[in-house]
Chain A
Amino acid sequence: MSISKEDLAEFALRLGDDSLIHAQRLCEWTSHAPMLEEDIAIANTGLDYLGRARYFLQYAGNLLNKNEDALAFLRDASEFRNLLMVELPRGDFAVCMVRQYLLDEFESAYFDALQYSTDSQIAGIAAKTVKEVAYHLRRSREWMRRFGLGTDESRQRAQAALDDLWGYVAEFFITDELEAGLVDAGVAVERSSLEGAWRHRIGELLSETGLSQPNDTWKVTGGREGIHTEHLGHMLGEMQFLQRAYPGLEW
């Protein structure tokens, strides 16, 4: 089955935007983490995501005849295709780590499957990503245990973060028409097929740590269509400032 160049580019853009926006939020922690060691660890994680964003955006750029910098710095909020989860404000440290954990458990399964994509570029990027994610997951699981089994405050903050973020999880598992076409072609991964195992793993860790799994009473979606929260524009204002103010500027 043949797929269009535009669909493939859109898919690469989605994965690139997920990484880019998450990288930006993580890097906002620089000099704000609870301790110096954690500061470095978060920034390193952010750089992993930035590297991944570059691979995907370069690929999308090649298909669209644009360069990666134009994609990162010259698109407006409504042109971004990232999951809403990653654009939410950086919050407190519990929000940072709980978000990372929810994402890591998803990415661990997602990229593991995506490395068998019939598109060699996508498969190659996914294979690189799998190793990073294994480490990120080890770290975020460790923090979830510390939060849940730590002090009253750490448990309360982690629970509050879980409750606040839970409704944004639904978007991980939506395979829309575009991705369904790519799934048929063997390029993309059927997202909904990963949800059962994801919930199982999350449920296990939460019960081990005494945190409770929130009810599915609400959900928010829209990132893939460019319908974003009010937070993305503010973030882009900062992220894109230099290229907007000094077009074409290079370091």
Chain B
Amino acid sequence: MKNRLRVLRAEREWSQADLAQRLEVSRQSVNAIETGKFDPSLPLAFKLARLFETTIEAIFTDEHLG
């Protein structure tokens, strides 16, 4: 699943480790989500949305919709 995590992180000047700390997950997990290798669960997606003060749809894009 495509996502805008890298952009959102860059806007706040957060490293992957910074985001990982805020999400209480490993940096490896953030990297896997960011590179689209791992799709987060709904609770983690909501946590990301709350953290970036936006909606899940604004972070993740359904590739089937283009």
Is B truly associated with A? no
User: Which positions in B face A, CB cutoff 8 Å?
Assistant: none
